[in-house]
Chain A
Amino acid sequence: KNEVEQSPQNLTAQEGEFITINCSYSVGISALHWLQQHPGGGIVSLFMLSSGKKKHGRLIATINIQEKHSSLHITASHPRDSAVYICAVYTGANSKLTFGKGITLSVRP
Chain B
Amino acid sequence: KAGVTQTPRYLIKTRGQQVTLSCSPISGHRSVSWYQQTPGQGLQFLFEYFSETQRNKGNFPGRFSGRQFSNSRSEMNVSTLELGDSALYLCASSLARGGDAFFGQGTRLTVV
Contact = CB atoms under 8 A, between A and B. Distances in A.
Nearest to B98: A95
Nearest to B45: A96
B27 interface: no
Contact of A95 (B44, B97, B103, B105): B97
A76 interface: no
A95 B31 contact: yes
Interface residues of B, number: 27
B23 interface: no
A86 B44 CA distance: 12
A86 B35 CA distance: 14
B103 A97 contact: no
19 contacts: A41-B37, A41-B90, A41-B108, A42-B105, A45-B100, A45-B103, A48-B101, A90-B98, A95-B31, A95-B48, A95-B97, A96-B45, A97-B35, A97-B43, A97-B92, A98-B45, A99-B44, A102-B42, A102-B43
Interface of B: 31, 33, 35, 37, 42-45, 48, 50, 55-56, 58, 88, 90, 92, 97-106, 108
Interface of A: 30-31, 33, 35, 40-45, 48, 86, 88, 90, 94-102
Given A86-B43, A96-B45, 18 more contacts: A31-B98, A40-B105, A41-B88, A41-B105, A42-B103, A42-B106, A44-B103, A48-B100, A90-B98, A94-B56, A96-B33, A96-B56, A97-B35, A97-B45, A97-B92, A98-B45, A99-B35, A102-B42
